[in-house]
Structure 1
Amino acid sequence: MPIPEGQPIIDTMIGFPMRDPKQAYAHITRQTKDAESRERLKMPAGYMFKDIPDHEGLQEDPVAVTLAEMDKHGIAVGLVGLRSEEGRRAVREHPDRFVGCLSVDPNKGMDAVREIVAMHAEYGIRAVDVFPAGTFPQVAINDKKMYPIYAKCVELDLPIFVCAGVPGPRVRMEPQKVEYLDEVMYDFPELTLVTRHGCEPWTDLAVKLMLKWPGLHYSTSAFAPKHYPREIIDYANTRGADKVLYAGYFPMGLTLDRIMRELPAVPFKDSVWPKFLYDNAARILKLT
């Protein structure tokens, strides 16, 4: 079904061009062991993507570049990371277009919790995110080091975005097994948790867990639309219209040109598009 004309979009995973990708991804590549990941790939999962946006040596303002791309494709609001100066500046200078998400490392213990509180007070962050397989040492989705993070998100009424499924970078997959979500949602029934990066090869299990747990959601980050899992499309078209959120992957691995070119071919029902592209994220991020 076609996307409704003029439908606004909230992109729950967008970023800014990186002049020095090697430095930007050092926190991931430091735990890889193969030479290609360490020395030759543009980004840690670069072997999986074609036509990765290349902005090395960029002279333009990275925030302006992303804003122009958003305007071109009808993206009203972007959820951006606040680890970079560009992310913090974007939220300060364009609060109507960008909202902040703080990436945290549960290995830091209470320092990570204090950082959430501080960034919530200073920047009004709308979400927290964790990349379990990318932490060093790795921390699994259900590791008790994660529990203070989950508890603080519940206390501040913040959603948490968590990567689940086999990671793209060549690191161990064990921390991101989808089955671990069941324990977390059992222990934190008030938590709003949104998965990132596909949940493959356990998308069937992810759907079953979303049916079970009201606070569990799925975002389409890092997937070109023609590769959205069939199980997720079918779920959104039936009982999961309120549970599936749009997320892109610009500029990390996909161009918005490609995403928006392929998106209209996704067989969502007419009633699903507004929820997928805007309403679900607006509710979760409290933008309404």
Structure 2
Amino acid sequence: MKIIDFRFRPHTEAILNGIKNSTMFKASCEASGFDKWQPQTLDDIVVDLKARGVTRCVITGRDCQTTYGFPDNNGSVLEFCRAYPDMFLGFWGIDPHKGMDAVREVEKVVKEYGMKGIATDPYLAHISPCEARYYPIYAKCCELNVPVFITMAPPPQVPGAVMTYTDPRDVDVVARDFPELKIVMSHGGYPFVHEAIYACYRNKNVYMDISEYEAAPMCETYISAMKSMIADKVVFASAHPFVEQGECLANYASMDLPEDVREKIMYKNACAVLGLSED
């Protein structure tokens, strides 16, 4: 079975150091034992991806410079995509507090750098995804016909981040206001499990992944919904290296899912979001 991983970052030395030393995730990494990782070269990482049957990975950038004073990581997204354009698809991280500069950035990176989408982190921006500062960004994405990836669950121990800004009901508002915009909610809107499922079910343009929460309490509700209500609306994502991709694939292999649904989640639904052929 072909696999597309919708949330992946290569565990090179620079990426691992950037994550564990960031103002956003340092405390979370220390609490979770993130130091267990051994870095690899990008070439070796790609060899491992192909061995697992992974055909494409979406690499999401992050820009929360206004709220956390930490440099964005978009340069690495571009670097990886240029090194392996047949493997990596880039979603550029955007800081909504940068106003029209952010809107112009969206156009530049899509048209000049070939980015396939835009990534946002409302909980790191300390505003809701339906707050007005996001709307010009969404409008530009509609104009350019690229999807938006919205991180919708705050990891533990992130300074200043609150769950209020990860409520899927706010994504429901965005979906109403921008019916042409393809939206992917990352991390399943956890712990707002039912709200996330229904936001996907009732909005044609809303998708989600459940990365990092495949074995969390209430996960069985996600799995039950995948079999019926949202079989066409969930994309596989590992959140590697926060969760090791191989471990995540094993979790999905053990899920009680019909094979046709499993194929949609692991590959076909991502093709639909990204506008890729299933061949």
| Alpha-carbon distance in structure 2 between the residues aligned to 1:190 and 1:105 | 22
Q: CA deviation at 1:115?
A: 1.0
2:234 corresponds in structure 1 to 244
- Deviations 1:129-172 (Å, cap 9, x if unpaired)? 1111112xx12111100101111111111111111245434322
Match status 1:260 vs 2:249? yes
Q: CA deviation at 1:260?
A: 2.4
CA contact (8 A) 1:17 1:65 kept: no
| Alpha-carbon distance in structure 1 between the residues aligned to 2:98 and 2:232 | 34
Match status 1:148 vs 2:136? yes
| Alpha-carbon distance in structure 1 between the residues aligned to 2:2 and 2:247 | 18
1:228-243 maps to which residues of 2 (within 5 A)?
Answer: 229-243=219-233
| Alpha-carbon distance in structure 2 between the residues aligned to 1:168 and 1:196 | 15
2:269 corresponds in structure 1 to 280
- Deviations 1:174-200 (Å, cap 9, x if unpaired)? 222222122211111111111011212
CA contact (8 A) 2:2 2:266 kept: yes
Greater shift in the superposed pair: 233-242 or 20-29: 20-29
When residues 271 and 52 of structure 1 are mapped into structure 2, their CA distance, relative to the original with a 3 A threshold, is: farther
Bigger relative CO (Cα 8 Å, ≥ 6 apart): 1
Match status 1:75 vs 2:54? yes
| Alpha-carbon distance in structure 2 between the residues aligned to 1:53 and 1:222 | 17
When residues 254 and 115 of structure 1 are mapped into structure 2, their CA distance, relative to the original with a 3 A threshold, is: same
| Alpha-carbon distance in structure 2 between the residues aligned to 1:53 and 1:77 | 25
Task: Describe the SS at the equivalent of 2:257.
Answer: coil
1:54 corresponds in structure 2 to 37
Match status 1:198 vs 2:198? no
Q: Report the aligned-residue RMSD.
A: 2.2
| Alpha-carbon distance in structure 1 between the residues aligned to 2:273 and 2:200 | 15
1:179 corresponds in structure 2 to 169
CA contact (8 A) 2:29 2:35 kept: no
| Alpha-carbon distance in structure 1 between the residues aligned to 2:48 and 2:23 | 27
| Alpha-carbon distance in structure 2 between the residues aligned to 1:54 and 1:160 | 29
CA contact (8 A) 2:49 2:55 kept: yes
Q: CA deviation at 1:67?
A: 0.8
| Alpha-carbon distance in structure 2 between the residues aligned to 1:166 and 1:132 | 9
| Alpha-carbon distance in structure 1 between the residues aligned to 2:8 and 2:271 | 15
When residues 52 and 235 of structure 1 are mapped into structure 2, their CA distance, relative to the original with a 3 A threshold, is: farther
Q: CA deviation at 1:68?
A: 2.4
Match status 1:64 vs 2:20? no
Q: CA deviation at 1:282?
A: 0.9
CA contact (8 A) 1:99 1:125 kept: yes
CA contact (8 A) 2:182 2:205 kept: yes
- Structure 2: segments with no counterpart, 5+ residues: 62-72
Match status 1:95 vs 2:81? no
| Alpha-carbon distance in structure 2 between the residues aligned to 1:157 and 1:87 | 20
- Deviations 1:8-48 (Å, cap 9, x if unpaired)? 1000111122535454466653xxxxxxx65xx4xx3653x
| Alpha-carbon distance in structure 1 between the residues aligned to 2:207 and 2:173 | 15
2:2 corresponds in structure 1 to 8
Give percent identity, aligned residues only.
Answer: 24
- Deviations 1:214-246 (Å, cap 9, x if unpaired)? 1111112233x4348222211110121110110
When residues 189 and 45 of structure 1 are mapped into structure 2, their CA distance, relative to the original with a 3 A threshold, is: farther
- Deviations 1:87-118 (Å, cap 9, x if unpaired)? 32221132111111111110111111111111
User: Given the two structures, how large is their TM-score scaled by the length of structure 2?
Assistant: 0.85
Task: Describe the SS at the equivalent of 1:129.
Answer: strand
When residues 168 and 69 of structure 1 are mapped into structure 2, their CA distance, relative to the original with a 3 A threshold, is: farther
Greater shift in the superposed pair: 73-82 or 241-250: 73-82
| Alpha-carbon distance in structure 2 between the residues aligned to 1:147 and 1:26 | 31
